[in-house]
Structure 1
Amino acid sequence: MTGANISYPTVSDDRRAAVRRKLAGFGRHCEVGIGVRHEVAAGLADDGRAVTATDVVEREPPEGVEFVRDDIVAAAERAAGGSGGDRSDLDDALGDHYRVDCVYALNCPPELHRPLVRVAAAVDAACCFTTLGGDPPAVDATPLALPGGDTLHVARDPEGVLLG
């Protein structure tokens, strides 16, 4: 068979829309490591959800999305350091941008899985992520195959929103 004779199914542009629909059950979100692909954060904001995005470098967020420059690894270290004090000390150490219902990351490399979960656990938020393709999750997580081909790995779901 030559290339002209091969029929491929249409590639779904719904990959990130499926992630967005799954996250729509939460009112407040923090996307960690937003980078330059804003589809999910922008869509959630368009749907009336509160979204804060973080990254280690300054980014221009889409309309309706707040941006805070922060490093999830440093935030996880702050969370670990704040665990001996009271709740307000921990909240102050982490910052308002993590006081959300769900902390998530897209195309998250394995070295950031543990810090992501640690921060989400510190604020008792749900936590999920997609990986960089072939990378397995570096934390205990339940994989959810979504329409369009993405797999959302759910590491925390205290209210059963994602897995319920």
Structure 2
Amino acid sequence: MLPLIKRKVGETMVRTMTIDDYDEVYALWMSIHGFGIRSIDDTKEGVEMFLKRNPTTSAVDVEDGKIVGAILCGHDGRRACLYHVCVSEKYRMHGIGKKMVEFCCEQLKKEKINKVCLNAFVTNTVGNKFWQKMGWTLRTDLNYYDFALNEDNLTIFNK
């Protein structure tokens, strides 16, 4: 088990994500066991397009000069979605995920967005436990469908 990093109570280092953060964010994604990366959407070019469409709503948490948490957050003018919510394994259980989610939600409220959703893989026990603890509602009243417009945009999971 990785050692936990102590944080000062109430300390927050959450800020808006920019494309300059990409290399560190990508390295964070690659460090997390079971994390799913899209072969096209999660390239630097794909993330740059996403951030240009949503310049204020994504977040990173910086500790000791390095990014230890990240969320891609965007909206269509009506509903927002969180993607790739993650915290480095050794920085977990210190409120970083909660602070980043709160940051994103505050940014969305400024843009008059009233609802936010996310997808969590059923096998992601850590993530699902986090969302339940945060008070998010697991929807059982609808079916989720998607359709691949580009078959080359594959999800690859870290081992």
Please give the TM-score of this superposition, normalised by the length of structure 1: 0.29
Highest relative contact order (Cα 8 Å, sep 6+), 1 or 2?
2
Please give the TM-score of this superposition, normalised by the length of structure 2: 0.30
